[in-house]
Chains A and B, each alone.
Chain A
């Protein structure tokens, strides 16, 4: 009986040693394996475009978009802390937007981060154009496009219509109402600026804006008369 008990204890001890060794082997091999691991986002390169991914999602497209969104946040965070280069950010954001066009945060994120951090203003605008398609009543998206065109791409002429579009949407701040006119003026399109200011003057109840716009109209009319007299 005593020998049997001793044998049993020995077997148990032996089993535990084996279990411990195997567990140690697992941890060690996993540790070594990490060196060979590809960058975590690289798998996204092999994903098809969002439009092709949508049928494969079998109705779970929102869930898939959420998971990709979490991946995007981690991708952005890891590159922000290291090389500050985001070559695949546009691709991932496009996937998310195509899978779940109503998910509005990626539009803001793409529209701002791609241009400010990633120096990809054109790609940022592509994302924002999709945002306008999904949410035509949000003033932020045309405003950001206008901002990217003017500030990052230095094109006030292309920026002005977007700012004008934003200024006409509900909830747009008052400054957008004069900003579009300023951009038209900067790009030398005084007639367009005058037309825009007149439109704002007739459709805005805000007295401060009306006063500012009236002054701009006065200046532009005076300038035009001066030009006409010179010619």
Chain B
């Protein structure tokens, strides 16, 4: 446990030192500020645009950070050969990977928190109120980026950063289309195709389950069961992917 904590804290420190992270956060802030300009160029429901752009920026840049940081962490350790002295110590490979994952989560949590505070301040200045509904969307965005990070770690446990990035991004895109995939199979009338699409539906991450931006912006009622089940689904998916990552990483030869 101590080893996991030490690796997580170290990963966080390493990520914080990364200049790419700052530039991404800067772009997210800029996008949120742009919403103020866009807001002036429109008519009707102006606050909505600020909230949509804010949540969209936090989500988009959260995903980019999760992929960029996630795919490089393990690879860097191997490339710089810093993994050898680490694994020579009584640190299991699984602990190393879990520590790395928690490190990314900590980075993403801080980044999401920073951007959320900025968004809330913008809304407070513009609208004069605090909108607690946005917290639901921000929380589920964090779960979504946590799933993306787990996938990035999984691919980077056996592949190069470029390929890991491509695979993770592809899964991010497909993750928003799985409902359509299932519907496509069900509408096809072909039993085999329906079986294949249903199988893929459960295998691939269903990231639309974490999309509660609409409910948050329009103040639509969200059942607590829906949030709880989305979190449970996310945790199960992350645990499965991390276990597979550990299996791959355990068998990896570092020669």
Interface residues of A (CB under 8 A from B): 55, 58-60, 62-63, 65-67, 69-70, 73-74, 100, 102-105, 108-109
Contacts and interface: CB of A to CB of B under 8 A. Distances in A.
Contact of B45 (A59, A63, A103): A103
Contacts, number: 55
Interface stretch (B8-16, B65-73, B99-107, B208-216): B208-216
Contact of B176 (A55, A69, A103): A55
A119 B188 CA distance: 41
A67 B48 CA distance: 12
Given A59-B207, A59-B213, A66-B49, 16 more contacts: A55-B176, A55-B177, A59-B208, A60-B59, A62-B56, A62-B213, A63-B53, A66-B38, A69-B42, A69-B49, A70-B38, A74-B41, A100-B214, A102-B218, A102-B220, A105-B45
A59 B49 contact: no
A213 B173 CA distance: 59
A98 to B, nearest CB: 13
The A interface, classified by DSSP as helix, strand, loop or mixed, is helix
Interface in B102-140: none
A58 B44 contact: no
Closest 9 CB pairs of A and B: A105-B44, A63-B56, A58-B176, A62-B52, A59-B211, A102-B218, A66-B49, A63-B52, A70-B42
Contacts of B60: 60
A58 B217 CA distance: 17
Interface of B: 38, 41-45, 48-49, 52-53, 56, 59-60, 172-173, 176-177, 180, 207-208, 211, 213-214, 217-218, 220
Nearest to A109: B44
Contact of A73 (B41, B177, B211, B218): B41
Contact of B173 (A58, A70, A105): A58
A28 B180 CA distance: 48
Contacts of A100: 214
Nearest to B57: A63
A156 to B, nearest CB: 31
B41 A60 contact: no
Contacts of B208: 59
Contacts of B49: 66, 69-70
22 contacts: A59-B208, A59-B211, A60-B59, A62-B52, A62-B214, A62-B217, A63-B56, A66-B48, A66-B49, A66-B52, A66-B53, A69-B42, A69-B49, A70-B42, A73-B41, A73-B43, A102-B214, A102-B220, A103-B48, A105-B43, A105-B45, A108-B44
Contacts of A65: 52
Nearest to B213: A62
A58 B60 CA distance: 10
A83 B41 CA distance: 21
A3 to B, nearest CB: 41
B206 to A, nearest CB: 11
B234 to A, nearest CB: 15
Contacts of A55: 176-177, 180
A65 B44 CA distance: 13
A70 B208 CA distance: 26
B148 to A, nearest CB: 12
A35 B56 CA distance: 35
Contacts of A104: 45
A55 B211 CA distance: 13
Kindly name the residue among A63, A74, A102 whose own CB sees the greatest number of chain B CB atoms within 10 A. Answer: A63
A70 to B, nearest CB: 5
A59 B53 CA distance: 12
B167 to A, nearest CB: 17
B56 A73 contact: no
A108 B133 CA distance: 26
